[in-house]
Amino acid sequence: MRVGEREAKSRWRRILQASVTLVLALVCAPGLWGQRSKLKPPWNMYSPQTDIQVGKQNAQMLAKRLPLCNDPKVDAYLTQLGLKLVAKMPNRGVQYPWEFHCVNSKEINAFALPGGYVFVNRGAIEAADSEAQLAAVMAHELSHVVLRHGTAQASKAQLMQGAAGIFGGIFGGSASGALLSQGVALGAGGLLLRYSRSDETQADVLGTQALYDAGYDPRAMAQFFEKLQAETKGKNPPQFLSDHPNPGNRVERVNEEIDKLGGVPPNAKRDSAEFEAIKREVMSLPVVKTPPASAGNAPPASPSGNFVDYQGNGFALKVPQNWNRYEDNGSVTFAPDGGISQKGGLAYGMIVSVNQVQTDGSEQSLENATRALIGELARTNPGLKVAREPARIELNGQPGLSTYLSNESPNGTEETDWLVTVLRPQGLVSFLCVAPRAAFPEYEKTFTAVLDTVRLAK
Ligand SMILES: [Zn+2]
């Protein structure tokens, strides 16, 4: 009996041990509770290298135009936080160049361009209650990058709009890099950041997984969106919410994913002393006075009557002294402070570019090249319409065409775009004059004065 009893006891112990092992196995392998969702990137006609190229080009332009925090401590913090999350995401064999910038804007916003160029407004850092919430915003943005949602949207747009390249030259079409930057300045930046509801769900789910894997409380993913929505109820939604529309069941889907992952880990990280220190640092940064030309902001200062010289490729002109200039790959944009929206859309100013074209030297060449340029612009500006058909004019004694277009302004109203084109040996030189419709009559005087100063190389 004793022996038997001992045997029974030890058998009981073995069963107990086995069950403990089983329970531990279940706890430690969340896969047994339910598989984490597998995410398939949407159809994309571009290569990952294109994501990097187009993202880099936009990022360089934005880095010049946006007021950056220029605080190495903050950038280093964003970089280490971002890379920690990136390490938990599938990169499908692509080495993204990952860059993280803090933008000195109080607007609550963060966005990531294709290829991994990430911009986080100080407003987003200040609005986050904890490191987990900031990590959630970033994990969501980084997910859009690795799932390549930006160029997937561009692929869809291109499929609907025909064969010619949205991004012009970069994609091996006949259009030049100048067209690319023209398109970008007018809103391809916006196109690359316009996500569908299914993109949003994918970014929420992958972001939740990355938060979980990086040791953060994954509930933060839905929290930040919820908080923003609650705080801005009845007001104009911040850009962040209109760029990332609620797919309708954000909280439910995030919670479902957390369940699949095995629930919120008891030791999940919510905040850190480092985050609180960075938040204080950001709050102490000087506030940049000039607001971006987005909805509701004051219009920029009127064009100065004093003009300054500019020498371009095959042309020279004079522009108002208070217009900044941004040179970019064969094109130059002139705009006052506040004339460019945060995402790079030109609201007030002028873009001059030289576009490579093939001409047969016929009289029709100028009109054909002009119409091709308008078609190219329309691909990145879905609201673009010809308001007044091309009419003959003279520019510095050369035959040119004057076309009026109407378009959606980055400031939310309608804008008028006055396009003047001339055909020169180096290509189609285009002068695109942009102002909101209400301000156009005032600006047209300046545009006319600028065009009168144009000298074309013989
Ligand atoms: Zn999103």
Q: How far is the CA of 144 from the centre of ligand 1 (A)?
A: 7
Confidence of residue 191 (pLDDT cuts 50, 70, 90): low
Confidence of residue 24 (pLDDT cuts 50, 70, 90): very low
3-state DSSP assignment of residue 289 = coil
Q: How far is the CA of 200 from the centre of ligand 1 (A)?
A: 5
Domain end position, chosen among 283, 318, 352: 283
**Residue bearing the bigger pLDDT, 27 or 109:** 109
- Residue 76 CA to residue 68 CA, distance in Å, equals 14
The CATH number given to whatever domain includes residue 409 is 3.40.1000.10
Query: How many domains would you assign to the chain?
Result: 2
Q: How far is the CA of 284 from the centre of ligand 1 (A)?
A: 29
Q: DSSP secondary structure string, 186-200?
A: IIIHHHTT---HHHH
What percent of the chain shows pLDDT beyond 70?
A: 81
CB 170, CB 50: distance < 8 Å = yes
Q: How far is the CA of 149 from the centre of ligand 1 (A)?
A: 9
Q: How far is the CA of 133 from the centre of ligand 1 (A)?
A: 15
Q: What is the pLDDT of residue 189?
A: 43
Q: How far is the CA of 253 from the centre of ligand 1 (A)?
A: 14
Asked if residue 344 and residue 271 are part of one domain, the reply reads no
In a domain, 288, yes or no: no
Q: How far is the CA of 192 from the centre of ligand 1 (A)?
A: 12
Q: What is the pLDDT of residue 260?
A: 96
Q: How far is the CA of 119 from the centre of ligand 1 (A)?
A: 14
Asked if residue 102 and residue 246 are part of one domain, the reply reads yes
CB 350, CB 312: distance < 8 Å = no
Q: What is the pLDDT of residue 31?
A: 44
Task: Share the mean pLDDT of the chain.
Answer: 82
Domain end position, chosen among 283, 299, 324: 283
Confidence of residue 455 (pLDDT cuts 50, 70, 90): very high
Asked if residue 318 and residue 279 are part of one domain, the reply reads no
In a domain, 314, yes or no: yes
- Residue 66 CA to residue 191 CA, distance in Å, equals 18
Q: What is the pLDDT of residue 188?
A: 40
In a domain, 384, yes or no: yes
Find the domain containing 383 and state its range.
307-456
CA distances from 7 to 1, 10, 222, 307 (A): 10, 5, 54, 101
Evaluate if residue 152 carries a pLDDT over 50: yes
As a whole number, mean pLDDT of residues 41-63 equals: 87
Of the listed ranges 51-60, 75-84, 144-153, the least confidently predicted one is 51-60
Evaluate if residue 132 carries a pLDDT over 50: yes
Express each pLDDT in 359-405 by its tens digit. Answer: 777 778 999 999 988 988 887 788 899 999 999 999 999 999 999 99
Q: How far is the CA of 201 from the centre of ligand 1 (A)?
A: 8
In a domain, 23, yes or no: no
Q: How far is the CA of 199 from the centre of ligand 1 (A)?
A: 7
Q: How far is the CA of 189 from the centre of ligand 1 (A)?
A: 15
As a whole number, mean pLDDT of residues 167-194 equals: 40
In a domain, 25, yes or no: no
As a whole number, mean pLDDT of residues 412-431 equals: 92
Q: How far is the CA of 420 from the centre of ligand 1 (A)?
A: 38
**Residue bearing the bigger pLDDT, 143 or 183:** 143
What percent of the chain shows pLDDT beyond 90?
A: 52
